[in-house]
Amino acid sequence: MQLTKRAVNVDRSPMTLGEKIYLPAIAKGLKITMGHIFKKKATVSYPEQTRPFSPVFRGLHVLNRDEQGREKCTACGLCALACPAEAITMEAAERKKGEEHLYREEKYAARYEINMLRCIFCGYCEEACPKDAVYLSETIMPSNYSRDYFIYKKEDLLITEEQMKKRAATGKG
161 vs 136, residue with greater confidence? 136
Dist. CA 168–CA 76, nearest whole Å = 26
According to the annotation, is 73 in a ligand binding site?
Answer: yes
CA-to-CA separations, 110 to 11, 53, 64, 93, 116, in angstroms, rounded: 73, 34, 15, 6, 19
What three-state secondary structure class fits 84?
coil
Q: What is the pLDDT of residue 88?
A: 96
Does 33 map to a domain? no
Does 19 map to a domain? no
CATH of the domain at 137: 3.30.70.3270
Q: Provide CB contacts within 8 A for 5, sequence distance 6+.
A: none
According to the annotation, is 148 in a ligand binding site?
Answer: no
Q: What is the pLDDT of residue 24?
A: 84
Does 54 map to a domain? no
Q: Is the pLDDT of residue 166 over 80?
A: no
Q: Which residue range forms the structural domain that includes residue 65?
A: 61-170
What three-state secondary structure class fits 154?
helix
According to the annotation, is 107 in a ligand binding site?
Answer: no
- Taking only the tens place, the pLDDT of each residue in 32-54 is 999 999 888 888 888 888 888 88
Cα three-residue angle 62-63-68, rounded to 5 degrees: 130
User: What's the gap between Cα 78 and its chain centre?
Assistant: 20
Torsion of CA 107, 75, 89, 71, to 10 degrees: -90
CA-to-CA separations, 74 to 13, 93, 130, 132, 157, in angstroms, rounded: 76, 9, 9, 10, 15
According to the annotation, is 122 in a ligand binding site?
Answer: yes
The pLDDT confidence band at residue 169, using thresholds 50, 70 and 90, is: low
Does 73 map to a domain? yes
Q: What is the pLDDT of residue 131?
A: 92
According to the annotation, is 84 in a ligand binding site?
Answer: no
Does 35 map to a domain? no
Q: Is the pLDDT of residue 14 over 70?
A: yes
Does 27 map to a domain? no
The pLDDT confidence band at residue 4, using thresholds 50, 70 and 90, is: confident
- Taking only the tens place, the pLDDT of each residue in 48-105 is 888 888 889 999 999 988 888 889 999 999 999 999 999 999 999 999 988 888 888 8
Does 68 map to a domain? yes
According to the annotation, is 125 in a ligand binding site?
Answer: yes
* Number of domains within the chain: 1
According to the annotation, is 5 in a ligand binding site?
Answer: no
Does 107 map to a domain? yes
Q: What is the pTM of this model?
A: 0.67
Q: What is the pLDDT of residue 173?
A: 44
Mean pLDDT confidence for 133-156:
90
